[in-house]
Amino acid sequence: MKITSFNLPYMSARSIFPKLCVAALIGTIGWSLAAAEIVAPAIVPLPMKMEVAEGTFTLTSATRVVFDEASAETARQLVDSLKPAMGIAMERVPGLPNDAKATIRLTQDEGLKRLGKEGYQLSVTPDGIRIVGAAQAGVFYGVQTLRQLLPPRIFATEPVKDVAWSVPCVTIEDMPRFAWRGLMLDSGHDFQQKAFVERFIDLMALHKFNIFHWHLTDLGTWSIEIKGRPKLLDAATRGPGVKPGHYTQEEVREVLRYAAARHITVVPEIDMPGHEPPALLAYPELDCPLPRADKDGKVERPWEFCLGNEKTYEFLEEVLGQVSEVFPGPYIHIGGDECPKGRWLRCPLCQARMTEQHLKNGEELQSYFIRRIEKYLQSKGRRLIGWDEILEGGLAPNATVMSWRGMGGGIAAAKAGHDVVMAPTEWTYFDYPNTPVEKVYSFEPVPNELSAGQGMHVLGAQAQMWTDTHPTEDQIDALVYPRAVALAEVVWSSPVNRNYHEFEDRLRAHLPRLAALGVHYKPLVGAGRVIGHWSPAETSDTPKVVDWKLDTGIKGAGRYAITFQYEHGKSRYQIHAVEIIQEGKVLASDKHFGWSGASNQNHVYQLELAQHSNAPLTLRATVSTDWGPDSHGRIMIEKLAALP
């Protein structure tokens, strides 16, 4: 029996209620009416339309996954994703047998073209589950929604006992708002292992991102193999603090196959004409023939290619030729950002090129360079995309602009008829630790300054995870999640009646899924119970140890988040280390520097607490202030979902 439904028409008003009250008949003798509370599924990103019905379908060892020929790979992925937690591999049955009971049915139906290649329908009844899409991307995204309909522990990496793998009865119709839903991972400032990159892609797929922008070269390292150019990988070209390593072309192809199986297009970035110390240290003949020294005579790391030297173009065409052979996607990102022009204006080769091409300034010289590179990429069947500095001096004819210095570059490009990807620092730079989830959720990729026609040039949006501060993999987790979940909803779901508080309710239900996947996400600010306060008595100009009694908030062993939240005062509260103490023994600690003040920096501390006795616990922190004793705030504790 259907209980209730709510229609979320695409691009029209929507209203999801976390809890829906309905009348249900209960009782064993006679009839009586009582209010039964049905919890709406916490799906992120929010689907376009959803109808909730009474009942569930439960996955067991007898459940079969049936599929048509086109859906065979998606069926395999579904079974493989559920196997670790269920401890069994459900039977896969090709050919869509007629008996539909106790089955999950995956099909591709071109009759659903109105939902596009990424749209899907998902229906759950007590007899089975049906997922259908006009193309396999849609079937795949339907599977991601199905995974979220199951209990959160379905994402565990080992068998889970005493859990009924029940799915609520729903009917969902869904499709994305934007074609470009991206995340960027910077492997050019610092290196990440291939396994981490593939895990990054897995998490993208769960949240229905479809563009992985892979930044492969920058100030820190040249991370992709270019055959015939071994010096690019020499350790001497790496910046300080960069983790060693690179990706062979075969390893890159493995990542590409991994992403393609999850319907993610990989956009490589080879930075040019600036941000290229590794290439210039490896091949100094590509630098302008000028000395490199600062005002004190200290030798500087090189930065920008010589644009008057024909060898520069030969080198970059050699590189881009190999990149085009490895990466099958339509776009190649060439950077184009933050390139100083001063050396070009003093370089005899660059000046000769400017005279030859009738170029007035450094901006026009860079535009000449970008146009040449675009022409070469077009000869390889690829489209050029670059940061919004490529607008300066005149935009290449068919270039796509990625707007990062605010929305202005994107607005100008869209008005000129160019495609745009919005990636402004204010909302989408995830290496900025202080941008809150709510701020990300408030982002609107299509500015009001654009007409409806101009707005069609906004392909979508993406977030950037720069690594010039050399974060660990766990730190990357905490910077990206849960903010990426907010962006996923921005680029997938309708913006009409967007409601952060309703989203936060679903996000809190989603966090245990991330925990089961081993994601070291940053806890939501403001969550948890207040366990103490600080005032001038707990401050010091130099590091000082302060204790607070932990009378509440600790509920046995587990992972806890301790948040320091400034309230008022002239000084920020600086935290050097946090410990949980019992009878003089340190049970758990997190030693990193952070602060809470007018802005916050790394002010959440995560501690893993093992089983312990009932003796009193103490929170101990080493703290200081930056501008005298006037600082006031509260300290909160929250128990987090367990990591596997």
Give the angle 251-256-257 at the CA atoms, nearest 5°.
95
Helices (H), 45-110: 72-86
Q: Are residues 64 and 208 in the same domain?
A: no
Residue 344 lies in a domain: yes
Q: Which range, of 210-219, 251-260, 548-557, averages the lowest pLDDT?
A: 548-557
Q: Does residue 137 lie within any of the structural domains?
A: yes
DSSP code of 290? S
- pLDDT score at 3: 43
Q: How many folded domains does the chain comprise? A: 3
Residue 35 has pLDDT above 90, yes or no: no
CA distance to 128, 492, 550, 592, per residue, from 631 (Å): 59, 42, 22, 20
pLDDT tens, position by position, 605-644: 989 999 889 999 999 999 999 999 999 999 999 888 776 5
392 and 407 within one domain: yes
Flag whether 482 is in a domain.
yes
Say if residue 266 is in the same domain as residue 136. Answer: no
Question: Does residue 144 sit in the same domain as residue 239?
Answer: no
321 and 452 together in one domain: yes
pLDDT at 99: 65
What is the pLDDT confidence band of residue 55, given thresholds at 50, 70 and 90?
A: very high
Domain end residue (candidates: 127, 149, 174): 174
Catalytic residue among 207, 275, 510, 603: 275
* pLDDT score, position 22: 29
Report the pLDDT value the prediction gives residue 7, as an integer from 0 to 100. Answer: 44
- In the set 338, 474, 541, 567, the catalytic residue is 338
Q: How far apart are CA 375 and CA 397, in angstroms?
A: 9
Q: Whole domain around residue 595: which residue ranges?
A: 529-640
**Could you tell me the CATH number of the domain that includes residue 426?**
3.20.20.80
Residues 583 and 458 in one domain: no
Which whole number is the average pLDDT over 547-554? 88
> Do 311 and 423 sit in the same domain of this protein?
yes
Q: Note whether 190 and 219 are same-domain residues.
A: yes
For every residue of 354-416, DSSP letters joined together read: HHHHT--SHHHHHHHHHHHHHHHHHHTT-EEEEEGGGGTT---TT-EEEE-SSSHHHHHHHHT
Question: In terms of domains, do 194 and 283 share one?
Answer: yes
Final residue of a domain: which of 470, 494, 516?
A: 516
CATH number at residue 147: 3.30.379.10
Dump pLDDT digits (tens) for 290-340. 998 777 778 889 999 999 999 999 999 999 999 999 999 999 999 999 999
Same domain, 168 and 279: no
Percent of the chain topping pLDDT 90: 81
Residue 572 CA to residue 631 CA, distance in Å, equals: 6
User: For residue 461, what is the enclosing H or E element?
Assistant: strand 458-465
In a domain, residue 627? The reply is yes
How far apart, in whole angstroms, are the C-alpha atoms of residue 335 and residue 275? 9
Residue 593 falls within a domain, yes or no?
yes
- Whether 165 has a pLDDT exceeding 70, the answer reads yes
Both 463 and 548 in one domain: the answer is: no
- Clarify whether 215 is annotated catalytic: no
Task: Encode pLDDT of 481-515 as tens digits.
Answer: 999 999 999 999 999 978 998 999 899 899 989 98
Task: Pick 92 or 556 by higher pLDDT.
Answer: 92
How would DSSP label each residue in 624-638? EESSSS--EEEEEEE
Catalytic residue, candidates 173, 186, 190, 218: 218
Report angle CA 175, 177, 183 to the nearest 5 degrees: 105
- My answer on whether 138 and 188 are in the same domain is no
CB-facing half-sphere around the CA of 341: CA atoms within 13 A: 17
- 275 included as an active-site residue: yes
User: Does the annotation count 218 as an active-site position?
Assistant: yes
**270 located within any domain:** yes
Among the residue ranges 159-168, 289-298, 422-431, 569-578, the one predicted with the least confidence is 289-298
Confidence label for 562 from pLDDT (cuts 50, 70 and 90)? very high
For residue 189, being part of any structural domain is answered with yes
- Residue 537, domain CATH: 2.60.120
pTM: 0.85
Q: Which of 464, 483, 516 is the last residue of a domain?
A: 516
Within a domain: residue 35?
A: no
User: Which pLDDT belongs to residue 554?
Assistant: 87
d(CA 466, CA 437): 18
